[in-house]
């Protein structure tokens, strides 16, 4: 490039020696323009060379990258193939599992439906049982109320029974004490036509005819009055006693006249006279005593023998505790 410029300058010098100034100026101007253009071209060339060098570096880098990418591509291609194969296997497995899962889900759906039906059946049965339980609960509450009332009534009855037992025991104690008191008062007479027995909550005093009366008579003799006076003294403190005096005869008919016409009359008159003797004691209340005739109709022995008929001719005194408070309790 520099040689061309020197040649061009020499040419201009030679030319200027033989051309006119006008032409010379034109040539100089053209030369300057050419020089400017050449400088511009040189700058562009340098720039292009720089760009080319940069491009060459870039190309070299890209070639290196391309080589690396080719290597990676080869590796990745193998991996891709492996992955594609794996994917294919997984896809086949997925399809198989999907098929199996579909069958499994269908079976499970049937089982689920069956279980739901069973559950519904069980729930219905449970609801029925709950209804039954509620009814039973209501019934139980009613029964509990009934039981409570029954228990209250039972407790009340138990209390009454306890009270009755207390009264009865008290009466039994009184009767036992009474029997002892009478036996003590009539000591010496027992076994001599008089017996004292406690049974059925009562005291039974039996006095044979010979201790009180002459045969066929109804007036109380002196020994009888003495025995009855002792008995009245023993009974004086017993204000809650009911005293029943019964006259008894044998079965031999009476043919008497006057007041005593038969055994009924005789038994009544004897019982009445015994009561009268007892009432001579001011401590006895007439309301406590009752006279009754039994005739021959309540024998204690056979009337076919003398001994039996003698035992049947008797006065029985039945001493009973007053049970009014007991009867009042029973009425409640």
Is residue 119 a part of any domain in this protein? no
Is the pLDDT reported for residue 2 higher than 90? no
Task: For residues 140-150, give the mean pLDDT.
Answer: 88
The pLDDT tens digits of the residues spanning 281-297 come to: 888 999 999 999 999 99
Is residue 276 a part of any domain in this protein? yes
Is the pLDDT reported for residue 33 higher than 90? no
DSSP symbols for 166-195: HHHHHHHHHHHHHHHHHHHHTTTTBTTTEE
Lowest-confidence segment of 31-40, 57-66, 164-173 by average pLDDT: 164-173
> What's the mean per-residue pLDDT of the chain?
84
pLDDT band at 298; cut points 50, 70, 90: very high
For residues 249 and 112, which has the higher predicted lDDT (pLDDT)? Answer: 249
Q: Which residues contact 201 (CB under 8 A, 6 or more apart)?
A: 168, 171, 172, 175, 320, 321
Range list of β-strands (E), the chain: 194-199, 202-208, 241-248, 289-295, 314-321
Task: For residues 31-36, give the mean pLDDT.
Answer: 84
Is the pLDDT reported for residue 138 higher than 80? yes
Q: Other CB atoms closer than 10 Å to residue 228's CB: what's the count? A: 26
Is residue 186 a part of any domain in this protein? yes
Is residue 86 a part of any domain in this protein? no
Q: What is the predicted pLDDT for the residue at 139?
A: 86
For residues 32 and 21, which has the higher predicted lDDT (pLDDT)? Answer: 32
Q: Other CB atoms closer than 10 Å to residue 289's CB: what's the count? A: 20
Classified as helix, coil or strand, 132 is helix
The pLDDT tens digits of the residues spanning 189-223 come to: 766 789 999 998 899 999 999 999 998 899 999 99
Q: What angle is formed at CA 78 by the lines to CA 73 and CA 84, rounded to 5 degrees?
A: 115
Is residue 49 a part of any domain in this protein? no
305 Rama class: left (phi>0) / alpha (psi -120 to 50) / beta: beta
Q: What angle is formed at CA 269 by the lines to CA 265 and CA 270, rounded to 5 degrees?
A: 120
* pTM (whole model) above 0.85: no
Is residue 269 a part of any domain in this protein? yes
Is the pLDDT reported for residue 58 higher than 90? no
Is residue 267 a part of any domain in this protein? yes
Is residue 137 a part of any domain in this protein? no
Structural domain of 326: 165-331
The pLDDT tens digits of the residues spanning 216-244 come to: 899 999 999 999 998 998 888 888 889 99
CATH of the domain at 230: 3.30.1330.60
Lowest-confidence segment of 106-110, 113-117, 198-202, 325-329 by average pLDDT: 325-329
Domain count for the chain: 1
Q: What is the predicted pLDDT for the residue at 329?
A: 56
């Amino acid at each position: 490039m520099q040689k061309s410029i020197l040649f061009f300058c020499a040419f201009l010098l030679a030319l200027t020696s033989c051309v006119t100034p006008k032409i010379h100026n034109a040539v100089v101007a053209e030369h300057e323009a050419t020089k400017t253009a050449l400088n511009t071209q040189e700058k562009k060339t340098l720039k292009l060379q720089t760009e080319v060098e940069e491009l060459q570096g870039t190309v070299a880098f890209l070639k290196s990258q391309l080589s690396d990418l080719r290597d990676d591509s080869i590796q990745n291609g193998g991996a891709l193939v492996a992955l594609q194969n794996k994917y294919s296997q997984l896809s086949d497995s997925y399809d198989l599992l999907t098929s199996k899962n579909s069958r499994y889900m269908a079976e499970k759906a049937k089982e689920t439906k069956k279980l739901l039906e069973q559950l519904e059946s069980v729930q219905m049965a449970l609801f029925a049982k709950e209804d039954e339980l509620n009814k039973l609960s209501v019934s139980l509450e009613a029964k509990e109320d009934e039981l409570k009332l029954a228990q209250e009534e039972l407790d009340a009855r138990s209390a009454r029974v306890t009270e009755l037992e207390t009264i009865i025991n008290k009466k039994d104690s009184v009767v036992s004490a009474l029997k002892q008191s009478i036996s003590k008062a009539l000591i010496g007479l027992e076994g001599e036509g008089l017996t004292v027995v406690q049974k059925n909550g009562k005291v039974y005093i039996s006095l044979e005819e010979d201790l009180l009366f002459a045969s066929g008579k109804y007036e109380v003799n002196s020994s009888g009055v003495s025995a009855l006076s002792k008995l009245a003294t023993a009974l004086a403190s017993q204000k809650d006693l009911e005293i029943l005096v019964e006259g008894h005869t044998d079965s031999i008919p009476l043919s008497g006249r006057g007041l005593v016409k038969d055994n009924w009359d005789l038994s009544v008159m004897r019982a009445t006279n015994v009561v009268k003797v007892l009432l001579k004691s001011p401590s006895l209340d007439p309301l406590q005593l009752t006279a009754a005739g039994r005739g021959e109709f309540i024998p204690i022995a056979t009337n076919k023998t003398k001994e039996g008929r003698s035992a049947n001719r008797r006065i029985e005194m039945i001493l009973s505790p007053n049970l009014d408070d007991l009867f009042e309790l029973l009425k409640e």
